[in-house]
């Protein structure tokens, strides 16, 4: 049978004192004697009393909780961002609630509703691949709750944003592959509806055009960038009569899938086809050949995102200009594109 949760009133009845005295004792009020505080703590422990943080947040108008929404937590990029974010926010007296959308718009909306119900003091988010409708993020803004976006965000929301220069990153990758003699470069990208992936596709196309290389629509692919997507799309590229001599993949897991298919087809990387990923996941330096990838500066993004939130809540009455921080990415050249 489920036991009824103990309340402050239960502790008060057990000790024959007022609920107000119990509440003050639990909050270490100096007006309450040490003897009473010890008795309250002893009974609270015996009854397995757990404070109602939601009720407390409603009373105080502040929960010291920050909601974080990420597409997935099994990515080194997102886990690293969260680690840095938590370190900064914990030192400022905040705890974080981590939720993941699994790239689902529906789950993302449920996460937002849950965090709003929990009375979080702010929400930090990186959008799901499926997200096109921004009404739920507008809902956060309408309630006066700080919203900070990182990595994936939409300009239309007009909120603080921290990320890397995805457009220039694509330019950098294409220029690198051209410097290695590549002339037919394919791009397995994310969906254009997501701003960062649209910028990566635009950067790729503009770099191809700038260097007077033919732009073949068969070489520009949109996907969810899972390992399975990388396998499937690499397989499709190998079926072309005129195969690419390089493949730039906008996500490391999809790049790993592409590498697996190339290996299974006895295609030498980089001698026959060069390969570049994106994200600098730890496995990129462990597989053979090691995978060239883009370092997204996850630690800096996590720290800057948390600091931006703290600036937002420090002076809520002061209208602050939007904070848009765009970092330059770094290409980590490894065996797959040498």
Query: Phi and psi (nearest 5°) for 4?
Result: -70, 135
Q: Which residues of 230-263 are buried (b: 16+ CB within 10 A; e: fewer)?
A: bbbbbeebbeeeeebbbbbbbbbbbbbbbbebbe
Nearest by Cα to 57 from 48, 49, 66: 66
pLDDT band at 317 (very low <50, low <70, confident <90, very high): low
**C-beta separation of 335 from 290 below 8 A:** yes
pLDDT for 146: 92
pLDDT at position 164:
94
**Structure confidence at residue 288 as a pLDDT band (50, 70, 90):** very high
Reported pTM: 0.80
User: How is the beta sheet containing 65-70 ordered, strand by strand?
Assistant: 95-100, 65-70, 122-125, 147-150, 160-164, 324-327
pLDDT at 1 over 60: no
Q: Which domains does the chain have, with CATH numbers?
A: 8-51 (no CATH), 64-163+298-327 (3.40.50.2300), 166-296+332-337 (3.40.50.2300)
Question: How far from each other are the two terminal CA atoms of the chain, in whole angstroms?
Answer: 64
DSSP string, 178-243: HHTT--SEEEEE--TTSHHHHHHHHHHHHHHHHTT----GGGEEE----HHHHHHHHHHHHTSSS-
Tokens for 205? 């196309």
DSSP 159: -
> 49-63, 81-95, 121-135, 146-160: which range is least confident on average?
49-63
């Amino acid at each position: 049978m489920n036991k009824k949760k103990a309340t402050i009133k239960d502790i008060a009845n057990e000790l024959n004192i007022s609920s107000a005295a119990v509440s003050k004792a639990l909050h270490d009020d100096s007006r309450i004697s040490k003897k009473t505080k010890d008795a309250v703590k002893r009974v609270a422990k015996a009854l397995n009393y757990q404070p109602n943080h939601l009720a407390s947040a409603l009373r105080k108008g502040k929960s010291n909780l920050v909601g974080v929404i990420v597409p997935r937590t099994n990515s080194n990029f997102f886990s690293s961002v969260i680690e840095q974010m938590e370190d900064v926010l914990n030192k400022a007296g905040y705890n974080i609630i981590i939720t993941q959308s699994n790239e689902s718009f529906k789950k993302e909306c449920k996460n937002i509703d849950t965090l709003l119900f929990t009375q979080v003091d702010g929400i930090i988010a990186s959008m799901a691949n499926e997200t096109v409708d921004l009404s739920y993020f507008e809902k956060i803004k309408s309630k006066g709750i700080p919203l900070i976006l990182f990595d994936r965000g939409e300009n239309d929301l007009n909120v603080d944003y921290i990320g890397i220069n995805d457009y220039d990153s694509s330019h950098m990758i294409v220029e690198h592959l051209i410097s290695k003699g590549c002339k037919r470069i394919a791009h397995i990208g994310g969906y254009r509806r997501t701003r960062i992936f649209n910028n990566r596709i635009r950067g790729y196309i503009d770099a191809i055009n700038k260097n007077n290389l033919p732009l073949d629509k068969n070489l520009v692919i949109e996907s969810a960038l899972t390992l399975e997507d990388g396998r499937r799309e690499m397989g499709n590229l190998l079926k072309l009569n005129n195969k690419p001599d390089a493949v730039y993949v906008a996500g490391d897991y999809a790049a790993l899938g592409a590498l697996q298919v190339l290996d299974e087809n006895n295609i030498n990387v980089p001698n026959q086809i060069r390969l570049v990923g994106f994200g600098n996941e730890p496995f990129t330096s462990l597989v053979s050949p090691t995978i060239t990838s883009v370092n997204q500066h996850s630690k800096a993004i996590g720290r800057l995102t948390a600091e931006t939130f703290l600036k937002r809540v420090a002076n809520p009455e002061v209208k602050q200009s939007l904070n848009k921080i765009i970092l330059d990415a770094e290409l980590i050249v490894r065996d797959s594109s040498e």
